[in-house]
């Protein structure tokens, strides 16, 4: 089935055609129909499957058809991070381009004056992080008593960030009769409990439940010592100069160290982590999105907030502490119908984490065998000025090999 065959408004069909949407992804095919019928939906789908459009398209169509005028909020979309709020707002605005629907984004980290102005002018759809939304509500700028639709996106991450109570507080403030759409990348007992406490007789949708990662992503793993990872990253980046590459590290400090290491060898990168001001984070995202800079180094803070087209590689420079974060990280590539590559560097001290990740995935990650010669070649490949220790390492390896040869000769 093609999008042009759906019973949605010509204005929305025009905008999604311009966005290059031809046929719906699995989650879109299964979710759009029930949402258009006014059903509650509980959907579990991997990151990168097109789930934002799966609820944005039918929501915007329904609001356009109802033609209810007024400045009150008709749809509230709640999500866990500022970056995700920006991304989803962009999708809603792009799909509603030829309608007169008003889309407003509310998030912390930036001044509230522009957001207050947008609310007073009128907002059909409000896309918000809980903190800023409750803040503006306490100041009297938000009324939720006429909300018709509630969307909880990345619900598992909302729980991780401690928003369970906030979600139930919002449920108490909106009309008893409303449509609820619940989307999550993972499903466990806690998420099920939350879901069934907010949805009524939902249509349940689950995409690829046995494989939490999109089939469009190929996975590879290399055993690399912690201090050598920067050399392997340098080589990968230089051998794929036109590729858009997203590098995940464990901490903000690590992000800045990798940034400095790449800077030393002439590679331009950007960093994204919690110490950056919101305006800086938005500027970084924009530069990476436009391809002005091809390499972004990020912490897990950004794993779900980066919805950038055509990310060719996700590099797990450090393995994530939580196995499910592997899924969220690699979900930044291979999105929709595009293919992508996930490459992980695993040091000796990370092997326990690797086991946990493979257990979570239900299979082993394809191992790239790196022989000693290739390993040393990668270290020698670097443009890092400090090569003395590498030369010694290489000489030592050659010396060891010669000793082994002599031992064998003596035996004969």
Residue 257 near residue 232 (C-beta atoms within 8 A):
no
Dihedral class, residue 44 (left if φ above 0, else alpha if ψ from -120 to 50, else beta): beta
In a domain, 39, yes or no: yes
Predicted pLDDT at 164: 85
Instruction: For residues 235 and 370, state if they share a domain.
Output: yes
In a domain, 264, yes or no: yes
Look up residue 260 and give its two tokens: 């400095």
In a domain, 405, yes or no: no
Region 279-287: mean pLDDT is 84
Rounded-to-integer distance, Cα 152 and Cα 148, Å:
14
Predicted pLDDT at 198: 86
Task: Read off the pLDDT of residues 215-255 as tens digits, 9 standing for 90 and up.
Answer: 788 999 999 999 999 999 999 999 999 999 999 999 999 99
Tell me which residue range forms the domain holding 222. Answer: 217-387
Residue 46 near residue 327 (C-beta atoms within 8 A):
yes
In DSSP terms, 316 is beta-bridged to 248, 344
Rounded-to-integer distance, Cα 84 and Cα 107, Å:
10
End-of-domain residue from the set 206, 230, 256: 206
Task: Read off the pLDDT of residues 12-52 as tens digits, 9 standing for 90 and up.
Answer: 999 999 998 989 988 999 999 999 999 999 998 876 678 89
Instruction: For residues 146 and 186, state if they share a domain.
Output: yes
Strands 75-78 and 149-152, bridge-based pairing: parallel
Task: Read off the pLDDT of residues 352-362 as tens digits, 9 standing for 90 and up.
Answer: 999 999 998 88
Residue in the block written with tokens 């879109």: 28
Instruction: For residues 178 and 246, state if they share a domain.
Output: no
Residue 151 near residue 80 (C-beta atoms within 8 A):
no
Phi, psi (deg, nearest 5) at residue 166 = -60, -40
Three-class secondary structure of residue 341 per DSSP: strand
Instruction: For residues 264 and 286, state if they share a domain.
Output: yes
Instruction: For residues 328 and 383, state if they share a domain.
Output: yes
Q: Which of 171, 97, 158 is nearest to 131 (CA)?
A: 158
- Domain count of the fold of the chain: 2
Q: How confident is the model at residue 382 (pLDDT cuts 50, 70, 90)?
A: confident
Instruction: For residues 257 and 164, state if they share a domain.
Output: no
Return the CATH number at 276. Answer: 3.40.50.300
Phi, psi (deg, nearest 5) at residue 309 = -70, 150
| Distances in whole angstroms, Cα of residue 104 to Cα of each of 57, 66, 80, 136, 308 | 16, 19, 16, 13, 21
- Identify the residue with better confidence: 312 or 384: 312
Burial of 156 (0-12, 13-18, 19+ CB in 10 A): buried
Q: How confident is the model at residue 386 (pLDDT cuts 50, 70, 90)?
A: low
Is the pLDDT at 389 greater than 50? The verdict is no
Instruction: For residues 183 and 39, state if they share a domain.
Output: yes
Look up residue 301 and give its two tokens: 């803070």
Residue 362 near residue 215 (C-beta atoms within 8 A):
no
Q: Measured on CA atoms in the order 325, 330, 334, 339, is the torsion positive or negative? A: negative
Region 384-412: mean pLDDT is 49
Instruction: For residues 232 and 359, state if they share a domain.
Output: yes
Q: Name, in order, each residue with C-beta under 8 angstroms of 263's C-beta and a sequence gap of 6 or more.
A: 269
Dihedral class, residue 132 (left if φ above 0, else alpha if ψ from -120 to 50, else beta): alpha
Residue 52 near residue 153 (C-beta atoms within 8 A):
yes
Look up residue 339 and give its two tokens: 């293919």
Task: Read off the pLDDT of residues 60-105 as tens digits, 9 standing for 90 and up.
Answer: 999 999 877 667 899 999 998 888 888 899 999 999 999 999 999 9
Rounded-to-integer distance, Cα 332 and Cα 139, Å:
36
In DSSP terms, 219 is beta-bridged to 342
In a domain, 394, yes or no: no
Is the pLDDT at 393 greater than 50? The verdict is no
Q: How confident is the model at residue 281 (pLDDT cuts 50, 70, 90)?
A: confident
Following DSSP, what letter does each residue of 237-279 receive, concatenated? HHHSTTS-EEEE-SSHHHHHHHHHHHHHTT---EEE-TTS-HH
Instruction: For residues 248 and 296, state if they share a domain.
Output: yes
In the DSSP assignment, the letter for residue 202 is P
In a domain, 212, yes or no: no
Element (H, E) at 136: helix 130-138
Burial of 104 (0-12, 13-18, 19+ CB in 10 A): buried
In a domain, 77, yes or no: yes
Task: Read off the pLDDT of residues 4-18 as tens digits, 9 standing for 90 and up.
Answer: 889 999 999 999 999
Instruction: For residues 180 and 287, state if they share a domain.
Output: no
In the DSSP assignment, the letter for residue 367 is B
In DSSP terms, 344 is beta-bridged to 221, 316
Instruction: For residues 23 and 62, state if they share a domain.
Output: yes
Task: Read off the pLDDT of residues 127-178 as tens digits, 9 standing for 90 and up.
Answer: 999 889 989 988 999 989 899 999 999 888 788 777 888 888 888 889 999 9
Q: How confident is the model at residue 304 (pLDDT cuts 50, 70, 90)?
A: low
Task: Read off the pLDDT of residues 172-182 as tens digits, 9 standing for 90 and up.
Answer: 889 999 999 99
Three-class secondary structure of residue 144 per DSSP: coil
Instruction: For residues 184 and 278, state if they share a domain.
Output: no
By percentage, how much of the chain surpasses pLDDT 70?
88
Predicted pLDDT at 336: 65
Task: Read off the pLDDT of residues 67-77 as tens digits, 9 standing for 90 and up.
Answer: 776 678 999 99
In a domain, 301, yes or no: yes
In a domain, 27, yes or no: yes
* C-alpha dihedral, 35 to 18 to 303 to 189, nearest 10°: 10
């Amino acid at each position: 089935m093609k999008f042009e065959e759906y019973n949605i408004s010509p204005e929305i069909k025009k905008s999604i055609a311009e966005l290059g949407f031809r046929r719906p992804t699995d989650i879109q095919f299964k979710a759009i129909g029930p949402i258009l019928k006014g059903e509650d939906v509980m959907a579990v789908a991997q990151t990168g499957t097109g789930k934002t459009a799966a609820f944005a398209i039918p929501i915007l169509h329904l609001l356009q058809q109802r033609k209810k005028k007024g400045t009150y909020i008709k749809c509230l979309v709640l999500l866990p991070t500022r970056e995700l709020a920006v991304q989803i707002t962009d999708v809603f605005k792009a799909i509603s381009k030829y309608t007169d629907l008003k889309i407003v984004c509310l998030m912390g980290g930036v001044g509230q004056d522009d957001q207050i102005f947008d609310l007073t002018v009128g907002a059909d759809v409000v896309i918000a992080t809980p903190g800023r939304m409750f803040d503006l509500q306490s100041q009297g700028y938000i009324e939720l008593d006429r909300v018709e639709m509630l969307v909880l996106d990345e619900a598992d991450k909302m729980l991780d960030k401690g928003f369970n109570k906030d979600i139930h507080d919002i449920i108490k403030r909106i009309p008893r009769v409303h449509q609820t759409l619940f989307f999550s990348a993972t499903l466990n007992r806690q998420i099920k409990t939350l879901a069934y406490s907010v949805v009524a007789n939902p249509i349940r949708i689950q995409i690829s439940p046995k494989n939490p990662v999109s089939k469009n992503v190929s996975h590879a793993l290399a055993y690399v010592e912690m201090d050598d990872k920067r050399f392997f990253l340098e080589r990968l980046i230089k051998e794929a100069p036109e590729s858009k590459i997203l590098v995940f590290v464990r901490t903000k400090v690590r992000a800045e160290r990798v940034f400095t290491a790449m800077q030393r060898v002439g590679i331009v990168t950007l960093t994204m982590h919690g110490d950056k001001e919101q305006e800086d984070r938005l500027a970084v995202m924009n530069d990476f999105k436009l391809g002005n800079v091809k390499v972004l180094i990020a912490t897990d803070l950004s794993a779900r907030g980066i919805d950038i087209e055509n990310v060719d590689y996700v590099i797990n420079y450090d393995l994530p502490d939580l196995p499910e974060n592997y899924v969220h990280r690699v979900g930044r590539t291979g999105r929709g119908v595009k293919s992508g590559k996930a490459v992980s560097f695993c040091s000796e001290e990370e092997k326990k984490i690797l086991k946990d990740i493979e257990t979570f995935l239900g299979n082993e990650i394809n191992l790239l065998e790196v022989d000693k010669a290739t390993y040393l070649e990668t270290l020698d490949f670097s443009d890092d000025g400090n090569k003395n220790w590498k030369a010694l390492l290489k000489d030592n390896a050659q010396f060891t090999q010669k000793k082994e040869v002599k031992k064998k000769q003596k035996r004969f």
